Structure 1
Amino acid sequence: MRMLAAERRDHLLGLLAREGKIVAKNVAADLGISEDSVRRDLRDLAAEGLCQRVYGGALPVSPAVADYAARQTVAPDGKRKVAAAAVALVRPDSALILDGGTTALAVAHALPPDLVCTVITHSPTIAAALLTHPRAEVFLLGGRVFKHSAVACGAAAVEAAQNVSADLCLLGVTGVHPEAGLTTGDAEEAAMKRALAARAADTYVLASSEKIGTASRFRVLPWEEISGLITDADPGHAVVQQLAAAGVEVLSAG
């Protein structure tokens, strides 16, 4: 007896929650339906924001696709833990490229007041947060403001980024997945993140636990182009273990 559409929907969502991905051909074989039927179901779920479609199936959607104000209320404790671990990487008298977003804002707030450093950012929010820092020099890169993350993007911002250099880049993403990689929801923002990372000796990705195992539409960087991942996710988390086994340096912020 074939499943009703609503039953298939529940089955797919349950599979996504249990296994962290959906492989369309496997579901089709298990349920005795066509892959086209599974793909239609996945299109419907994606339209509701319940999954991120990828080639061959779907992955969990990142919760970091909400607007900037809403994201400030998502996992604030996790972001503070990630920020504290990230700040430990910033050396005195060094230059830091600090991405935008809510986790990066937590990093800005966590910089010790006696730390002498240069912070390069394309986020007016980050720059404003550092106005009262007594020792940090701030360079703000300009361009079209992408309001979702309160950062400058586009050709002007990328060109500005190409004229700076730094010791460290702390980069935010919306999704961290072993197969999909490091992702975000906007193509221009992804390009800007790549431009920033290319100007630093080391790049570490900031990822609070709710982003682990999820994906967004646009890939930012392949794993081999980052120095490590900073997360408050449990070291025993299946995705964290998979990344570590693949050679990704994972710094625990728990």
Structure 2
Amino acid sequence: MLTSQRKQHLLSVLQRDGQIVAKRLSQELGLSEDTIRRDLRELAAEGLVQRVHGGALPASPAVVDFTARQELASEAKVAIGRAAARLVQPGQVVILDGGTTAVQVARHLSPELRATVVTHSPTIAMELVPHPGIEVLLIGGRLFKHSVVAVGAVTIEAIGHVRADTYFMGVTGVHVQEGLSTGDLEEAYVKRALSSRAAETIVLASSEKLGVASRYVIAPLTEISGLVVEHDVPEEVTNRYQELGLSITRA
């Protein structure tokens, strides 16, 4: 089997099974595990898979910069943002992550709502400037331009002084076994810190983020409370998350 044929077969297996187990595949194809791993390394370099211990998972298509993400599944993100905004109650302190889906949450908060939003995203803060009843606490730090959020030691230190009701988290990957992930290490640390300061964490998860993984782990799914997903995500997909005790809000 030619290299190109092997790679195409690997991608077909990934699409069919949702994962690649290198040992099992090497036995099925009569090839060495080293050959499979080499192919996976090359596919990962092309952004087509995310390597994990023992094999690979689908790579998240959401690991692109902020501008590009604005064009990715935009209708779904509007719906998810609207549904998440309805979960915010008067008087609450909520943490709102950076990212294009979080922007939609900010845009859909009720004009009558009086609450406090904590964010490390200048974009989110600017969205909320016209809102008459929202007090905005903007956390500073080094600006990570890729996602337009603050990161670093200064950011994590400031987060430690916050106690919130709910954190609406943005991610690039949600996977039953591999948990929550994102494409930058510092972002992963900041998201984990934010989650630790909220009574509950709700993940904003458009369909391209479900069942995929990115390079840096934020937390296992057992550390969050629920997901906000598109209305037409199949039940066989959401059931796997509900079995872990997560609430599912359909947009």
User: Which TM class, normalised by the smaller chain length?
Assistant: over 0.9
Shift, 1:236, TM fit: 2.4
Q: Deviations over 1:65-107 (max 9, x none)?
A: 1111000000011111111111121001111110101111110
1:147 aligns with 145
Q: List, as ranges, runs of 4+ consecutive aligned residues in structure 1 with deviation greater than 4 Å.
A: none
Shift, 1:250, TM fit: 1.8
1:221 equivalenced with 2:219 (yes/no): yes
Q: Give the TM-score taking structure 1 as reference length.
A: 0.96
Shift, 1:238, TM fit: 3.9
Separation of aligned partners in 2, 1:154 and 1:200 = 19
1:160 aligns with 158
1:136 aligns with 134
Separation of aligned partners in 1, 2:163 and 2:102 = 19
1:105 aligns with 103
Q: Deviations over 1:160-197 (max 9, x none)?
A: 11011111110111000111111011111011011111
Q: Give the TM-score taking structure 2 as reference length.
A: 0.97
Instruction: Report the AA paired with residue 63 of structure 1.
Output: P
Instruction: Report the AA paired with residue 79 of structure 2.
Output: K
Separation of aligned partners in 1, 2:236 and 2:216 = 23
CA contact (8 A) 2:178 2:220 kept: no
Match of 1:44 among 38, 42, 45: 42
- Give the root-mean-square deviation of aligned CA atoms: 1.1
1:74 aligns with 72
In the alignment of these two chains, the number of paired residues is 251
* Structure-2 change in CA distance of 1:23 and 1:237 (3 Å): farther
Separation of aligned partners in 2, 1:251 and 1:179 = 21
Q: Secondary structure at the match of 1:145?
A: strand
2:25 aligns with 27
Please, which runs of 5 or more residues in structure 2 have no aligned partner?
none
Q: Secondary structure at the match of 1:100?
A: coil
Moved more, 241-250 or 85-94: 241-250
CA contact (8 A) 2:141 2:153 kept: yes
Shift, 1:239, TM fit: 3.4
1:236 aligns with 234
Instruction: Report the AA paired with residue 173 of structure 1.
Output: V
Shift, 1:234, TM fit: 3.5
Separation of aligned partners in 2, 1:234 and 1:5 = 37
1:245 aligns with 243
1:119 equivalenced with 2:120 (yes/no): no
CA contact (8 A) 1:212 1:233 kept: no
Q: Secondary structure at the match of 2:60?
A: coil
Shift, 1:158, TM fit: 0.3
Separation of aligned partners in 1, 2:173 and 2:69 = 14
Please, which runs of 5 or more residues in structure 1 have no aligned partner?
none
Shift, 1:233, TM fit: 6.0
Separation of aligned partners in 1, 2:73 and 2:231 = 11
Separation of aligned partners in 2, 1:92 and 1:217 = 37
Shift, 1:235, TM fit: 4.5
CA contact (8 A) 1:161 1:196 kept: yes
CA contact (8 A) 2:222 2:244 kept: no
